[in-house]
């Protein structure tokens, strides 16, 4: 008999990949989704696992709901992927972000503590917690400096996981994951916004797109591989925290240039700051414009992870690097729009 796993945030990018991964390992997978008037199971459908996951209406804002779920379905492993995960929105909805992304973790841990303290718990922490980075590259020991309500909420989630581990002996692991993308990434996130817009431009459905800070650098990996590290953490003899990253940083500008390269266009940049425009080198048509509307009130300039601990202790290593990731995303968006 396979183990039982419960995943919050099953409708999200990582939820879908993790469900697929655990099903392939023989797990019985329960997926929690919050009630909406129109469910969004497209990612599970796209991966062909929609019918294999047992979907449960579970909201991490409701502790009783979590307790009853754990009591009834008896998960041995719980993956808390649910979050208000979009940094820009967190500046507009900081309280809601705190309720879901921060206190939601305590609700989960309380349910674990009450129902079965033996449940292994994974918390989806984020490189955004490093924010205004205190050293480069960032490791598990780098001091944190969050720069958004989202990052501050994630930092709370991280420390409460550490605290329940130390106070109540809960097997809680915090995975400090650097940006990870895929064709299943939400359309509002910068990478997917670019791959979707470039595909539209290719098919003549759109002329240009607008973007915020182009020189922000991120350590971008492939979500399908990053969820494997989440599972690996829970298979170790003792619970610990791990940085998961690729060890390479690339700018948003590079992401744009490489996406256009894939459809045979070269970008020429002119102007500075909010005036900057990227145009087609052949036709001179503007394809990318900066819009300060997309600037963050407090920007995170550079995130670069050192995943030595994950490599040596978990045996985890990224296989897909930046250029291949861009290509996977743009190719899928071209197919979708065909």
114-118 own/partner pairs: CB under 8 Å, 24+ apart? 114/67, 115/67, 115/70, 115/71, 116/70, 116/74, 117/168, 117/169, 117/170, 118/76, 118/171
- Give the residue, chosen from 78, 108, 115, 124, that forms a contact with ligand NAP under the rule CB under 6 A: 124
- Give the residue, chosen from 5, 7, 9, 304, that forms a contact with ligand NAP under the rule CB under 6 A: 9
Query: Which residue minimizes CB distance to ligand NAP?
Result: 12
Rank residues 36 and 283 by Cβ distance to ligand NAP and give the closer one. Answer: 36
Shortest separation between residue 60's beta carbon and ligand NAP, angstroms: 4
- Give the residue, chosen from 6, 7, 12, 242, that forms a contact with ligand NAP under the rule CB under 6 A: 12
Shortest separation between residue 17's beta carbon and ligand NAP, angstroms: 8
Rank residues 32 and 239 by Cβ distance to ligand NAP and give the closer one. Answer: 32
Shortest separation between residue 161's beta carbon and ligand NAP, angstroms: 12
> Which range binds ligand NAP by CB under 6 A, 28-36, 110-118, 194-202, 275-283?
28-36
Shortest separation between residue 131's beta carbon and ligand NAP, angstroms: 13
Tell me, by CB under 6 A, how many residues bind ligand NAP. 26
- Give the residue, chosen from 100, 153, 160, 256, that forms a contact with ligand NAP under the rule CB under 6 A: 100
> Which range binds ligand NAP by CB under 6 A, 7-15, 256-264, 268-276, 281-289?
7-15
Does 15 bind ligand NAP (CB under 6 A)? Our answer is yes
Shortest separation between residue 296's beta carbon and ligand NAP, angstroms: 15
Rank residues 40 and 167 by Cβ distance to ligand NAP and give the closer one. Answer: 40
- Span 43-62, contacts to ligand NAP by CB under 6 A: 59-61
Contact residues for ligand NAP (CB under 6 A)? 8-9, 11-15, 32, 34, 36, 40, 59-61, 81-85, 100, 124, 126, 177, 179-180, 186
């Amino acid at each position: 008999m396979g183990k039982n796993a419960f995943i919050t945030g099953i409708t999200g990018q990582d939820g879908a990949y993790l469900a697929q991964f655990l099903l392939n390992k023989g797990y019985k997978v329960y997926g929690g989704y919050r009630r909406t008037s129109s469910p969004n199971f497209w990612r599970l459908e796209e991966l062909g696992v929609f019918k294999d996951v047992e979907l449960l209406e579970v909201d991490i804002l409701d502790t009783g709901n979590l307790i009853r779920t754990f009591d009834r379905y008896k998960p041995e492993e719980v993956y808390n992927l649910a979050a208000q995960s979009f940094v820009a929105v967190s500046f507009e909805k900081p309280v809601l972000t705190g309720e879901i992304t921060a206190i939601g973790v305590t609700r989960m841990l309380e349910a674990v503590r009450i129902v079965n303290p033996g449940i292994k718990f994974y918390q989806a922490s984020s490189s955004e917690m490093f924010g205004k980075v205190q050293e480069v590259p960032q490791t598990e020991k780098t001091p944190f400096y969050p720069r958004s309500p989202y990052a501050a909420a994630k930092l709370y989630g991280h420390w409460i996981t550490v605290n329940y581990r130390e106070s109540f002996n809960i097997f809680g692991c915090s995975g400090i994951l650097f940006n990870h993308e895929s064709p299943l990434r939400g359309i509002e996130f910068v990478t997917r916004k670019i791959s979707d817009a470039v595909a539209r431009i290719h098919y003549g459905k759109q002329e240009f797109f607008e973007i915020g800070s182009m020189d922000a650098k991120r350590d971008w990996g492939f979500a399908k591989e990053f969820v494997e590290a989440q599972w690996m953490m829970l298979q170790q003899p003792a619970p610990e925290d791990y940085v998961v990253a690729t060890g390479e940083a690339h700018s948003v500008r590079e992401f744009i240039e490489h996406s256009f390269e894939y459809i045979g266009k070269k970008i020429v940049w002119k102007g500075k700051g909010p005036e900057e425009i990227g145009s087609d080198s052949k036709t001179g048509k503007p394809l990318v414009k900066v819009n300060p509307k997309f600037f963050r009130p407090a920007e995170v300039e550079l995130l670069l992870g050192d995943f030595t601990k994950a490599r040596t202790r978990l045996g985890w290593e990224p296989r897909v690097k930046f250029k291949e990731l861009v290509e996977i995303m743009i190719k899928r968006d071209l197919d979708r729009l065909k």
